[in-house]
Structure 1
Amino acid sequence: MTTWNEYKKTITAFTPEELSVMDMLTELQAERIRRGVSQRDFSDKIGMKQPQLAKIERMDSMPTLGTLTRYAAGLGLQLKLTASV
């Protein structure tokens, strides 16, 4: 099975910024799963409908920074943004 880190090396249709968002979402989703929290329970916790969460986790929809922050907060985590120039 191909891992996300292997697969993302083949992707050329996304900007580096979009790939950063996908990386963050992948890490957050993996943490949700490690904790054994279902999509339904988690979507209820963060005030989102389960189909909307599923769409984001499938990456059918690019989440906003606000959505990622809400996701992280639902896990008791905080996002840390860094800038590079």
Structure 2
Amino acid sequence: MKLNDIESSFSSISEDEKVIIDTLVKLCAERIKRNIPQTVFAKRIGIKQPQLAKLEMLDSVPTLATLNRYANGLGPA
């Protein structure tokens, strides 16, 4: 896949969804930076690890409630 292909696939995503995706990517990076394994983090936020993996792989656009849960699971910065 080329960069142009990726960019064109993003053109079908709304600006709101792009903001949500960008936020999730930053939260996921913070989880990794803090060295919190998916299994531990999934339990912390009350979901199963496979669900967290799908969320972080952007299989679907998360809701704001899900982002809030994720952020709260990270606690204070």
Partner in structure 2 of residue 12 of structure 1: 11
Structure with greater contact order relative to length (CA < 8 Å, sep ≥ 6): 2
Partner in structure 2 of residue 73 of structure 1: 72
Q: For residues 68 and 38 of structure 1, do their structure 2 counterparts lie closer, same or farther at Cα, with a shift above 3 Å needed? A: same
Partner in structure 1 of residue 33 of structure 2: 34
Percent identity between matched residues is 47
Unaligned runs of 5+ in 1: 1-5, 79-85
Partner in structure 2 of residue 43 of structure 1: 42
Give the distance between the partners of 1:77 and 1:15, measured in 2 at CA. Answer: 30
Greater share of residues in helix: 2
**Once superposed, what is the RMSD of the aligned Cα atoms?**
2.0
Deviations 1:13-45 (A, max 9, x none): 201000000000000000000000011110011
TM-score by length of 2: 0.85
Q: For residues 15 and 28 of structure 1, do their structure 2 counterparts lie closer, same or farther at Cα, with a shift above 3 Å needed? A: same
Partner in structure 2 of residue 52 of structure 1: 51
TM-score by length of 1: 0.77
